[in-house]
Chain A
């Protein structure tokens, strides 16, 4: 193998110009994969944080089975009673990966400023727990609930604008109770906030949990939100906690933030498709470059192939010889590509470019993450592709009739 590497390396150096073009093609392709994957990694991370902390989904959501499909038809059937909430919270809090368990209640109805009214989607949450879930995520967007103001709701900014409401104004919320009766409560306008999503920024209200219970006329909650210590533990915790609840005789459904955030899934689906498309193009470029370079090498070195075969090299060894050379070109291209990625990622991250994504209310910063394991995976895959691409001309070389190869001029 060392001889193959030595021969491959020296032949690469011998044909510097041709090797350089191939190496640059691989490097540019590799860097483009790295930069795009770094960009979408940043976007996925941002969207995940937005779902978990911004939308307050936490990492896991516990509910009675069927809530999402039939909860509106028979709400009482799907509510978690206060004793159940206490029991579940106590059970889950024992798990060392769990940081917080908090109840949640969705209420919807009509919000009025006394003159005009519009629909609202309300989310009742415990103010201090909400602060824990949010952490320092986009604190500039506002929307915190004040424990000292039990009747103050955080209004989405477009909703407040529609109704001409400002902070410390008041409005009236009208909603159906759990039993289907109409209930109305005065609400203070607390902080205004931006949901970050054009589809919800004209509808959302964040309500103190007790206030939402009063509006819905219940002492229960429809969901329990679990915040884990680490997002990476989500799926493992989902399985473990499900098992724990089942063992305790509690029939509950546990959904991850990923299952509940349709926006994340849609964006990821779109970006994954674009990534696959770019990756496929890069693969084709790399394959064509390697095939072209190695085919030329095979033609130029036909007599050498004949000589090596005459000296006792087997066909398989000849295939290896050229495949190793192809892989060496990709390794070189990969190293240059890594350097290019680091430089370009730094430049992009320092430049402070921003853009407004579809359906978003405000601009986000264009950032590129450098993700070593993604780069390593792409690198290994490209190496494999290069070996396969080099194998085509290499097999042609290996199949040459020795006397024909020796007579090649």
Chain B
């Protein structure tokens, strides 16, 4: 009984994401570029955190590592207590699909699929039955306020609408973590504000952990925690 309680407590207070001494070095021809150096960093469950800093500070590199779409040159990465930096490509794909949602700066919707089909995509990759995936996708579409746009393809939507579709897609698989890389960079300030509000609302309501990168100081006032990166190093956490 004690052991079970210990595990529950450990799990409850365990960081959702933990990086220990993580570094990332890119090889550009004969030159090595150190994008990240000795990063120690934790994200707790249900946090709404921002990584910010100037261009080239390593924000995207850090999110790529947390999102398991890139591998570190050194250090350890834990997701939900599981060390993930040594997993095979297929295992990483499965973790991404089941535990992580992505929101990209350029929206990255599949152009030949309509809004609903784009949102269904992570579930269909997971192997969920089409009718169940459709019902779930409709529900997420409703949450982002685009239910009437379900059959529109991305090229017929505004930037804000596309990003809302991307948010619905990121959340449709009920991930533990949503990673958003510069989600408002291609949007006007009013739409940016709406997008951040929407993410914040979903974070509070669904208790989903959000971590996003930005260099827009106006968005930082909405976050629980700000992590400032400079030259591939964490220089401040507020």
Contact = CB atoms under 8 A, between A and B. Distances in A.
Interface stretch (A37-45, A187-195, A313-321): A313-321
Contacts of A308: 110, 121, 125
Interface in B100-135: 102, 104, 106, 108, 110-113, 117, 121-122, 124-126, 130
State which size class the interface on B falls in: 20 to 34
Nearest to A312: B97
Contacts of A3: 124
A10 B112 contact: yes
B98 interface: yes
B70 interface: yes
Contacts of A309: 69, 93
B64 interface: yes
State which size class the interface on A falls in: 20 to 34
Determine chain B's interface SS by DSSP, over half rule.
helix
Contact of B125 (A2, A313, A406): A313
B64 to A, nearest CB: 5
B110 A304 contact: yes
A311 interface: yes
A9 B90 CA distance: 26
Contacts of B148: none
B98 A406 contact: no
B124 A314 contact: no
A317 B64 CA distance: 21
Interface string A389-400: 000000000000
Contact of A14 (B102, B112, B124, B125): B112
Contacts, number: 65
A303 B121 CA distance: 16
A14 B112 CA distance: 7
Interface string A7-35: 10011011000000000000000000000
A304 B107 CA distance: 11
A402 B111 contact: no
A162 interface: no
A251 B98 CA distance: 75
B96 A307 contact: no
A356 interface: no
A5 to B, nearest CB: 12
Given A309-B69, A312-B125, 13 more contacts: A7-B110, A10-B113, A303-B106, A304-B108, A308-B110, A309-B93, A312-B93, A312-B122, A313-B93, A313-B97, A313-B125, A315-B93, A403-B69
Interface of B: 64, 67, 69-70, 89-90, 93-94, 96-98, 102, 104, 106, 108, 110-113, 117, 121-122, 124-126, 130, 169
